[in-house]
Chain A
Amino acid sequence: MAAHAEAHHGPPIAHQSSRVNASVLGMLLFIASEIMLFGSFFTAYFFVRVVNGIPWPTPPFELPVFVAGVNTAILVTSSFTMHWSLQSIKRGNRAGLQGGLLLTFLMGLVFLLTQAREYSRVGFAPHDGAFGTIFYCLTGLHGAHVFVGLSLLLFMTIRAFRGHFSPEQHHGVEIAGIYWHFVDVMWIVVYSTVYLI
């Protein structure tokens, strides 16, 4: 009987190791890219505020801490409804999935609209010094992430109302949920550093 090593012609065989699961690797790369993206803006923020010692917020401007606080509460609550919706479909509760996703989407929308309203009333623009630039860049970058999250949530909500997803098949909601919680975590960081500290 002849033994043989795997014969192969053509291009080299791709080295497919399961050292890191493909989906986990994708998520890790995504997190790494997001950390670098937000990290660059936070570096600018700390440079402006700590190294240059620019007063924060720079007088005569003021940050709407209370409105942003209410907005934070809305966004954090939306994470709870997101979690509830996924737990509902895992238990076969379709109404819970639909209600949870709809509430999450609406709260996310309210957050984004409140943010837009805040921009129109805050009294300074991105070109009003380093303070204004950093404020709009950080909150705007986060707002862009909320917009992406809302798009995902919209698709998932429509799919949920069209009868998609089951206790066994709910990967789409899971992915949207992970993204939504990530967006919330980033807002906690932005709100704590930009508005509160």
Chain B
Amino acid sequence: MINPLRSEAEAFRFLIASIVYFGAIVIAAVAGGKWWGLGVFVVLSAAAAWWWLRSRREERPRQTAPRPHAEGERRILVIANETVGGHTLRSMVLERSLDVREEVLVVTPALNSPLKHWVSDEDDARAAAQERLAASLEMLAEAGVQARGEVGDGDPLQAIEDALRTFGADEIIISTHPEGRSNWLERGVVEKARERFAVPITHVVVDLEREREEVR
């Protein structure tokens, strides 16, 4: 989000822009009358709104790097909603943790409706996510994967970022439903994650309904 008062330099630029904006309106109002002033106000306000919307679209998120951790350890961050039970995902985690001390963190985003999110009504969403997480960890334990879990932010990208700040992941595995049934794929979560995080990302498609799984 563009915040003109995030740093002194940005605030200074905002001041210069304000001087130009109000200066133009005052000059137009004094020289041409109130309707000219109003016209310049409308034009400049529209231009400022257009520039702001355009800048928002072009703003690229800063890449987040994970915290460093001890050597001889492999840390895997698994981000999955309810598809962590797939065999491929489990065998992939096992394969990556061969001959090293592995640490696996499963993060289950507390998916919520936009309205409930904005009114901070997250209790049900977090409770449901906690149940899915417990089931996922149980499945991983049955497969011999030692893992711990956390309920994360409803936005999967934010959940990854939050986890990276405390968990120095060497790799991120994003588990989704197949295309057509995955809201995350529709929103381009995997592509955005690759752009945003300086960590190798593996996308695992898990089709629990057809017991068909594939790795991309």
Give chain A's interface residues, CB within 8 Å of chain B: 1-6, 15-19, 24, 27-28, 31, 76, 79, 82-83, 86, 173-174, 177-178, 181-182, 184-185, 188-189, 192, 196-197
Contacts and interface: CB of A to CB of B under 8 A. Distances in A.
B85 interface: no
A110 to B, nearest CB: 18
Given A17-B158, A79-B12, A181-B8, A3 B147 contact: yes
Given A5-B137, A185-B14, A197-B37, A18 B162 contact: yes
B201 interface: no
Interface of B: 1, 3, 5-9, 11-12, 14-15, 18-19, 22, 25-26, 29-30, 34, 37, 122, 126, 130, 133-134, 137-138, 140-141, 144-150, 153, 155, 158, 161-162, 165
9 contacts: A5-B133, A5-B149, A18-B162, A24-B6, A83-B8, A83-B9, A86-B8, A181-B5, A197-B34
Given A5-B148, A177-B11, 9 more contacts: A1-B141, A1-B146, A3-B149, A4-B148, A18-B158, A27-B5, A76-B19, A185-B15, A197-B25
A197 B153 CA distance: 48
Contacts of A184: 15
A59 B165 CA distance: 63
Given A178-B7, A181-B8, A196-B26, A189 B18 contact: yes
